[in-house]
Amino acid sequence: MSNTVYFLSDTHFKYHTKDPREKRKRALFRDFLGSIAGASRLYLVGDIFDFWFEYRSVIPRFYGDVLEAIGRLAESGTEIFITGGNHDHWFGSFLPEMLGIKVLPGTAIHDIQGHRVIITHGDTLLPGDYGYKTLKALILSRPVVAFAKLLHPDLLYAFAAAFSRTSKGLTHGKTEACADRLTDMARKTFFNEGNDAFVMGHVHLPRLRNFAGKTFIILGDWETHFSYARLEDGRFTLKSYQSEGDTVSENL
């Protein structure tokens, strides 16, 4: 059993699996999880699924291979945590009851290898963007969730696919600017909770910065960078899983 801890986010697994890019992305993910079997912990920091919504007796069948790989990792003894992102807020009982995955709140603080670590997806960290924040509060509200459960799953997922495409179109080209703003904010405000590490997802650009003994990490994504963070012997590193069995350090 290894004491190593891994963090990744923004895999955005789709509900249509025939696209070659989606197949490659999933194959790399499955291979990566196999390569870390027996690790101490894995944190999945939001937007693992491009959309996830559980009905009482229905879960998305599109993610069977992903869920199977996560289940095998859990069986190896790895403790797995997941937090919702802006695409997969709506976790129910399936993941904890069937796979033993611990569902985290929007922001969690964990003590890991001598580090007090804040873990959050981070989609509401930037100031402003009130339209998005209002929309998020609305779609998480009980009336909207109750209405969604009345819709046929095929209809709900078709709507979610269209919304996802629109959302990505609005944010395209802003990634580096967002990462720069968050890095500047991190230095000033992200270490006010007695924490000495801050790990987030959402922004699809991997970044690791150290500020006087404090560590700020944007995990990047599993669509372009195939990036993840590793905490081993008290030291954070940010890496990219480039091909089966081959990891290289991210150019930071």
* Domain ranges (residues) in the chain: 5-249
Distance, in Å, from the CA atom of 87 to the CA atom of 46, rounded to the nearest integer, reads: 8
End-to-end C-alpha distance for the chain, whole angstroms? 30
Q: Which residues make beta-bridge pairs with 198? A: 118, 216
Please determine, looking at this structure, whether the domain spanning 5-249 carries the CATH number 3.10.290.10.
no
Residue 35 has a CB neighbour count (10 Å cut-off) of: 13
72-118 per-position pLDDT tens digit: 999 999 999 999 877 666 677 788 888 899 999 889 999 999 999 99
Residue 73 has a CB neighbour count (10 Å cut-off) of: 24
**pLDDT value for 98:** 87
User: DSSP assignment, residue 190?
Assistant: T
* Cα angle value 80/83/85 (rounded, 5°): 140
| pTM flag (> 0.95) | no
Per-residue tokens: 110: 């964990």
For the packed helices 130-139 and 142-150, what is the interaxial angle rounded to 10 degrees? 60
Please report, for residues 17, 31, 37, 157, the alpha-carbon distance to residue 23 in angstroms, rounded to integers and kept in the order given: 6, 12, 21, 20
**pLDDT value for 132:** 58
**pLDDT value for 3:** 92
Using 50, 70 and 90 to split pLDDT, how confident is the model at 139? low
User: DSSP assignment, residue 245?
Assistant: T
